[in-house]
Structure 1
Amino acid sequence: MADSQQPTLNSLAAKITELSETFTKYLKENNIQQPTFAADSPTSYSNLSPEIFVTRQQLADALSDLWYLSQGPSESIYNYVHSCIPDAAALNILNHFDFWSAVPLEGSASYPEIAQRVSLPVDVARRVLQHAVTLRIFEETEPGKSSSNIRHNSRSAALARNAGLQALVSSVLDVASAPMMIMPETLNRYSRGKPALTQNMDETSFALMYSGGQLGKYRTSWDMLENEGEGENKGWRQRKFVAFMAYIKELFHLEGVLLDAYDWKSVGKATVVDVGGSAGHDSFVLARKFPDLTITVQDLPQVKPVFEANVPEDLKDRVSFVAHDFFQPQPVQADIYIIKLILHDWPDHEAVRMLRAMIPALKPGARIVLIEYIGNQRETEGPSLPRSIQNMGTATDLRIMALFNAEERPVEAWAKIFRDADERFELAHVNANPLTFISVVEFVWRG
């Protein structure tokens, strides 16, 4: 029997109107410019309060519900299945061959001109672009006419202007999408009938896709990032990944999260190690804000040239780079260690191994500040978060299942991993805010 409380087309339309009015009123009162589809549009909303951010996500939920109901259950599934992979493939092709720079930001380009610039057959370029146009990525100057040129709109221009956004598309679609599509076979081979997901890194969807030789001999995505390419092009994915991480830090305001993760001012003159700190973007901000800190950034050797090219001159005496494999014994003794967005990429026993590798350098009272995606918090107090917010976490969770046989963990799972590494790791402080998607968990070494 139908539930009288179920949403209807009319009730959803009314809710969308109400939420839209609330949202646009806030934008107007706070002088926040609204994006449009024009190429010169702002690319994002800035300075949304936590409350209005939730309002926007509730609006997104209502819009998706209206989309589902307007088609009906069966057709909404069919339409999704029909288009989701071609949609992702078109975006990946556009990004991989840099269609963004093949079209001028001001003006337009013909299909033959674009094809020449991206070194693809005209017919291929045309077919990919015509699908992209249906997704509001690029637009035709004369829609439907064979003589039409292609020009940027706001969605394609955002990618043309932002190398970090391009790197995000590359890192998520180009690396992770193919392994995700063979997850049914991977689960069938390695986890079917077992009480838990296999933790073997040789039994991931990524390894099944890429370790056989035809597409490379890569055991993990990190192997691919470090080694794909020949000569000067070797490690091109690693350089993309550095740009991706810089963009992620901007997207999730990780600079603010890091600055608020610890009472940095109270420690005075202190040494800090940013484990897996990429090219040091966060460490530069931290060092400038707190001049008593001396920071060592640790990452793979391939990242060092990017660090050296970007380290500000006035910070060179306080922020340095040390090449380090975090499975090897930690070489630097420090007061505080930052581990951000690293451990979630590994199954439990590998995360434990990384933490144990730190122990030789730890002195009594040393702090480990873990910054991670908040993960599935299981039961929570208060109303549940909008589905669109939950989806951010569940999508990442499935992606790292495919790549690493890992998961996005709740805080209690992180505490267990640290205990499994060594009982002398003591949980000291937790700050888990689902609206920022990030949790900060502080441990102290009681060795």
Structure 2
Amino acid sequence: MAQPQVTLTSLAAQISDLTQQFTKFLGDNGIQQPSFAVDSPTSYSGLTSESFLLRQKLIDAINDMWILTQGPSESIFNYCHNTMPDQAALSMLNHFDFWSAVPLEGSASYEDIARHTKLPTEVVRRVLEHSTTLRLFTKSEKAFHVEHTSRSAALAKSSGLRALVSTLLDDAGPPLTVMNETLRRYCLGKTELTTEMSETALALFHSGGIFGGKYATSWDFIENDGEGPRKGWRQRTFVEFMRYIREMFHLESVILGSYDWKNAGAATVVDIGGSGGHDGVILAQKFPDLNIVVQDLPEAGVPFEKNTPAELKSRVSFMAHDFFNPQPVSADIYMLKLILHDWPDKESVRILQGLVPAMRPGSKVLFIDYVGKQSNPDDLPRSIQQMGTATDLRMLALFNAEERPVKAWKEIFRAADERFEITRVEANPLTFYVVIEAVWRG
């Protein structure tokens, strides 16, 4: 039997019902509701899996209401008309740090903000006139002044959120604008997607224009863009972005719960692509028998030395290592967290094959990664599905890679070497993570 068509009236009833359920949960659990006030909570804390699903269903209904209230044609017009200016306004606010130009308590004039940002007052005014329609700042009672809203205040307070905006809009966003030309050049008339890194939208975008063809991959771009003291500023922003993502998606708790670390005893763990060693330090603090080697490119050695407590350095060490080269450390556990996600299949297979020379029978790979595409997407709210599909298109533009479901991750291991035996797979669509444990049977 066909499902009944939704209407404005049915959506209004659904939104009312879901709102009552959600706010009842918040009230029963002492979770404060956000508002647009500057002192509002900036995110929900304490949501359960059930309440998270409830919220996403409410978001789906609100999105449907947004479409039908305008009508199908006007909703498309308004989306196309607003999307790029909306993103540009947020990007400019972030890049020129409008956030700190306005006090959290009080207001600032256009002239004040112009002095802070070193932009013409006219530009400041026009950017803010659009931004206030997005609840990013609000007009003050004083003429030509603005104040913070909870949205702009969240960005003023959080370096991680600012880094997220910069990475997704300034670094990963522009290549998406040349996807049509990329597909026309490299995929039109072919039966399969090219997997060459030189044929990505990112490579095409950087082949000329303001970047002059200097960067072949996104990693090359973020590591080397800028001159003098600004060289590598995008990489520093990306590190902060990843810290924020880890916090937002509770990666620390996922890592601690991903393995029976206590019974691992005096195991040697190699944290591949472990950046500044945050996760290695946490593991060492929680499990004093573990010995941990953090591997990353040489630039990560500075934050590692800064962030690793002296009393742990006998058990937590840093090694400069490119994971495309053969693994030099013979260990019990090799941990790969959010690494293969950003590489096409061919490169992901190479990374796993690089471990083989150092592995001995019984050694394990503990693989933890983002899994945005679910095996049962139709069972989930569209707003959850959209998290995965949006990331998937971004992966296509940057790497000619895809947002893999759990099955595809298992295939990567098999393609790397049949002697990897997958002994455990845990995937939760509400945490967006998959944990795979693979034992080396060579």
- Give the Cα separation in 1 of the matches to 2:191 and 2:367: 29
**SS across alignment from 2:173:** helix
Match of 1:255 in 2: 252
Match of 1:132 in 2: 131
- Give the Cα separation in 2 of the matches to 1:290 and 1:404: 37
State whether residues 22 and 51 of structure 2, in contact with CA within 8 Å, keep that contact through their aligned partners in structure 1: yes
Q: Deviations over 1:386-438 (max 9, x none)?
A: 00011001111110110000011112211211111111111111001000111
State whether residues 226 and 302 of structure 1, in contact with CA within 8 Å, keep that contact through their aligned partners in structure 2: no
Q: Which amino acid aligns with 2:115?
A: Q
- Give the Cα separation in 2 of the matches to 1:379 and 1:105: 44
Q: Which amino acid aligns with 1:98?
A: D
Q: Tell me the CA shift for residue 186 of structure 1.
A: 0.5
Tell me, which stretches of 5 or more residues in structure 1 are unaligned?
none
Q: Deviations over 1:93-146 (max 9, x none)?
A: 11111111111112111001101111111111111111111000111103xx8x
Q: Tell me the CA shift for residue 213 of structure 1.
A: 6.2
State whether residues 375 and 406 of structure 2, in contact with CA within 8 Å, keep that contact through their aligned partners in structure 1: no
Tell me, which stretches of 5 or more residues in structure 2 are unaligned?
none
- Give the Cα separation in 2 of the matches to 1:307 and 1:320: 9
TM-score by length of 1: 0.96
Q: Is 1:340 equivalent to 2:337 in the alignment?
A: yes
Q: Tell me the CA shift for residue 232 of structure 1.
A: 2.4
Q: Percent identity?
A: 62
Match of 2:145 in 1: 149
**SS across alignment from 2:366:** strand
Match of 1:43 in 2: 42
Match of 1:95 in 2: 94
Q: Deviations over 1:345-381 (max 9, x none)?
A: 111111111111111111211111111111323446x
Q: Which amino acid aligns with 2:95?
A: H
State whether residues 235 and 302 of structure 1, in contact with CA within 8 Å, keep that contact through their aligned partners in structure 2: no
Match of 1:173 in 2: 169
- Give the Cα separation in 2 of the matches to 1:192 and 1:375: 27
Structural RMSD (CA):
1.4
- Give the Cα separation in 1 of the matches to 2:87 and 2:116: 22
**SS across alignment from 2:291:** strand
- Give the Cα separation in 2 of the matches to 1:268 and 1:115: 58
**Please, which of 365, 369, 376 is the counterpart of residue 366 of structure 2?**
369
Which 10-residue stretch deviates more, 420-429 or 44-53? 420-429
- Give the Cα separation in 2 of the matches to 1:100 and 1:213: 29
Q: Tell me the CA shift for residue 324 of structure 1.
A: 1.4
- Give the Cα separation in 1 of the matches to 2:80 and 2:309: 48
Q: Is 1:196 equivalent to 2:195 in the alignment?
A: no
**SS across alignment from 2:107:** coil
**SS across alignment from 2:355:** helix
Q: Is 1:446 equivalent to 2:441 in the alignment?
A: yes
**SS across alignment from 1:137:** coil
**SS across alignment from 2:354:** helix
**SS across alignment from 2:56:** helix
Q: Tell me the CA shift for residue 193 of structure 1.
A: 1.8
Match of 1:436 in 2: 431
Which 10-residue stretch deviates more, 328-337 or 430-439? 328-337
Match of 1:294 in 2: 291
Match of 2:405 in 1: 410
- Give the Cα separation in 2 of the matches to 1:39 and 1:312: 36
Q: Is 1:419 equivalent to 2:414 in the alignment?
A: yes
1:108-123 maps to which residues of 2 (within 5 A)? 108-123=107-122
- Give the Cα separation in 2 of the matches to 1:100 and 1:214: 27
